[in-house]
């Protein structure tokens, strides 16, 4: 029985011929039996692939042979090719869709003009030194922050990363332009870009966390500045640090959209035809069709119609 693994990785580096890299990566993954999703743009690569341990090792070795990817870090986690429906390797204008491909500048060292990278302990040091002046700025979709965020963090009103530029230029956050701002996201990739967009728009002191919430949570669990669960983009949908929900330091931030009970479980709205919303629904309400909707009146109607004979 072979052991399966999942690799998560990204790298910002100039790619002269993204189509050639795409074809090479697709052939490589196919030959190794890997499945998952890889995006390639003129600014770099972003991937999640799963397969046998030996195949993953070979993939890492081969991928690092490309000069721009030589120093790329791979994060290993448990899983396998079976965690993905297929292999998808695509060229895109952006590896994270901020809608700003022309603004992003990269060189061999990564993003040019991004925020200062902080290790988890340096984040705590910054807060210890500068206290209440420090602002945490959530670089994820607002929904993700419903179940967990840094203590006191500002959560911008974004449904997708496409909304960030509009938010940053709205004037809503001008009060923090002279303050130390720590941007953060799940694994760090979104803030590589977001922090540069902020600096370009007059935010003077912008930081980003090395390895994102994942690395911070691994280091401090529920005993640091992080509160609650971390949203994850797979079947689990949430992840807790330390000893999980039974950890004495764990705080449940999420609440059921119907009854306000504490929960960290997202569900897809039952009105799947016209609603793509994922909402927090407690275990009790999730058992009844009548409350398997997101709360929008038309979705509530769809649910009600399914209950009535």
Give yes or no for a contact between 16 and 50, defined as CB atoms under 8 angstroms apart: no
Rule CB under 5 A: which of 206-265 touch Zn ion? 256, 258-259, 261
| In the complex, least distance from residue 296 CB atom to Zn ion, rounded to whole angstroms | 5
Our CB check for Zn ion shows the closer of 3 and 259 to be 259
| In the complex, least distance from residue 184 CB atom to Zn ion, rounded to whole angstroms | 28
CA dihedral over 264, 269, 270, 276, signed as positive or negative: negative
What the block records as the tokens of 152 is 């006191």
Within 8 A by CB and 6+ apart from 167, the residues are 156, 157, 158, 173
Check binding of 289 to Zn ion (CB under 5 A): no
Question: Of 87-95, 128-136, 229-237, 293-301, which part binds Zn ion (CB under 5 A)?
Answer: 293-301
d(CA 208, CA 138): 10
Q: What share of the chain is helix, strand, coil (3-state, %, to 5)?
A: 35, 25, 40
Our CB check for Zn ion shows the closer of 208 and 277 to be 277
**Contact residue for Zn ion among 49, 213, 294, 300 (CB under 5 A):** 294
Active-site hit among 11, 29, 185, 299: 185
Our CB check for Zn ion shows the closer of 197 and 299 to be 299
Residues 259-278 vs Zn ion: string with x where CB under 5 A? x-x-------x-x---x-x-
**Contact residue for Zn ion among 40, 285, 300, 303 (CB under 5 A):** 285
- Number of residues lying near Zn ion (CB under 5 A): 13
Residue given tokens 């990817």 in the structure block: 69
Residue among 244, 297, 292 at smallest CA distance from 269: 292
d(CA 13, CA 10): 10
Whether 56 is a known active-site residue: answer: no
What the block records as the tokens of 203 is 């935010």
Our CB check for Zn ion shows the closer of 23 and 261 to be 261
Active-site residue set: 185
Contacts with Zn ion by CB under 5 A lie at 256, 258-259, 261, 269, 271, 275, 277, 282, 285, 294, 296, 299
């Amino acid at each position: 029985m072979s052991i399966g693994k999942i690799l998560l990785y990204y790298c910002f580096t100039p790619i002269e011929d993204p189509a050639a890299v795409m074809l090479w990566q697709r052939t490589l993954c196919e030959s190794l039996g890997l499945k998952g999703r890889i995006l390639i743009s003129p600014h770099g690569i972003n991937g999640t692939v799963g397969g046998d341990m030996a195949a993953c090792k070979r993939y890492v070795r081969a991928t690092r042979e490309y000069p721009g990817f030589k120093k790329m870090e791979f994060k290993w986690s448990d899983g396998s090719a079976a965690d993905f429906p297929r292999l998808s390797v695509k060229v895109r204008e952006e590896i994270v869709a901020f809608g700003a491909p022309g603004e992003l500048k990269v060189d061999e060292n990564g993003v040019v003009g991004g925020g200062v990278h902080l290790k988890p302990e340096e984040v705590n040091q910054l807060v210890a030194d500068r206290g209440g002046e420090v602002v945490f700025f959530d670089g994820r979709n607002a929904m993700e922050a419903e179940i967990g965020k840094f203590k006191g963090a500002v959560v911008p009103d974004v449904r997708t990363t496409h909304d960030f530029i509009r938010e940053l230029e709205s004037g809503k956050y001008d009060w923090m332009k002279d303050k130390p701002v720590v941007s953060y996201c799940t694994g760090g990739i979104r803030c590589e870009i977001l922090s540069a967009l902020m600096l370009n728009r007059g935010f003077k002191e912008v930081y980003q966390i090395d390895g994102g919430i994942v690395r911070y949570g691994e280091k401090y669990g529920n005993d640091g500045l992080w509160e609650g669960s971390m949203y994850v983009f797979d079947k689990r949908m949430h992840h807790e640090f330390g000893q999980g929900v039974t950890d004495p330091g764990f705080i449940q931030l999420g609440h059921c959209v119907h009854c306000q009970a504490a929960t960290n479980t997202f569900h897809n709205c039952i009105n799947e035809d016209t609603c793509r919303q994922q909402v927090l629904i407690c275990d009790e309400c999730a058992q009844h069709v009548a409350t398997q909707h997101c709360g929008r009146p038309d979705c509530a109607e769809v649910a009600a119609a399914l209950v009535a004979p």
